[in-house]
């Protein structure tokens, strides 16, 4: 296969192999397709996740445009209630304002940067920064579940826990207490942003401090260095 990769064809191949469940709604970019078993290593194509920065309140426009160009897009949304003087409305808002995620696509970079609403790719040292699959999958499980998820101030310190059972079993994060509730905080390090969801404290197990987890992450190359993170209109390759 040469030239521009037909990602619709690739996705169909993954569906045929039982790796991807097709979505039946009219907004495939909203919380994305569900990747069950396959990883980028199983293919000759780039299935690495990257983060794109968008203009304010242009996340949905950019996501829909990229999806129409046959990119695989993940725009996590959450439900929020907004109160006006005369009415109350439930809205679907971006969980990470001004950001969305794209899988691969850097071989068609011009198509990405010319998309309405897209400003650039999140990168370090001029190179597009990969978002670990584990972080994407954890966020996906939160937004696809029935629990109420919401943005949370970026958090890196605290008791690191793993949910032992229930709908979030296996997910790791930092446990915090808010009034009489416990919330599990997950962070996308490269964005310097966090989200949280309410959990039963009895379902989690503490296994390290936040500091120890950060040290371990740095050893494997996954730790974020937010103070040096940059985004630019185009990546550089070597």
Reported as a single tens digit per residue, the pLDDT across 53-98 is 999 999 999 999 999 999 999 999 999 988 887 888 889 999 999 9
Q: 121 pairs with which residues across the strands?
A: 52, 232
Q: What pLDDT, on the 0 to 100 scale, is given for residue 87?
A: 84
Reported as a single tens digit per residue, the pLDDT across 29-50 is 566 543 433 444 443 467 899 9
pLDDT value at 144 more than 70: yes
Under the banding of pLDDT at 50, 70 and 90, the label for residue 234 is very low
H or E, element range at 67: helix 59-68
Q: Any residues with CB less than 8 A from the CB of 44 and at least 6 apart, and which?
A: none
Please tell me the distance from the alpha carbon of residue 132 to that of residue 181, in angstroms, as a whole number.
Answer: 29
Check: pTM over 0.95? Answer yes or no: no
CATH architecture of 7-232: 2-Layer Sandwich (3.30)
């Amino acid at each position: 296969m040469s030239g521009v990769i037909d990602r619709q064809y690739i996705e169909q191949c993954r569906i045929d192999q039982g790796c991807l469940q097709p979505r039946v709604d009219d907004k495939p970019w909203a919380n994305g397709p569900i990747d069950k078993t396959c990883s980028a290593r199983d293919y000759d194509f780039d299935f690495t996740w990257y983060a794109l920065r968008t203009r304010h309140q242009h996340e949905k426009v950019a996501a829909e445009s990229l999806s129409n160009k046959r990119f695989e897009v993940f725009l996590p949304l959450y439900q929020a209630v907004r109160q006006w003087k005369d009415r109350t409305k439930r809205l679907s808002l971006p969980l990470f304002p001004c950001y969305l995620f794209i899988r691969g696509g850097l071989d068609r970079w011009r198509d990405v940067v010319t998309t309405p609403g897209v400003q650039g790719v999140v990168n370090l040292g001029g190179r597009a920064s990969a978002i670990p699959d584990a972080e994407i999958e954890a966020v996906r499980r939160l937004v696809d579940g029935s629990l109420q998820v919401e943005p949370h101030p970026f958090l890196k310190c605290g008791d690191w826990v793993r949910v032992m059972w229930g709908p979030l079993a296996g997910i790791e994060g930092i446990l915090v207490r808010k009034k009489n509730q416990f919330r599990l905080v997950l962070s996308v390090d490269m964005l310097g942003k966090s989200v949280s969801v309410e959990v039963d404290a009895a379902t989690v197990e503490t296994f390290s401090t936040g500091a120890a987890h950060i040290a371990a992450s740095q050893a494997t190359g996954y730790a974020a260095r937010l103070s040096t993170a940059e985004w630019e209109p185009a990546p550089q390759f070597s």
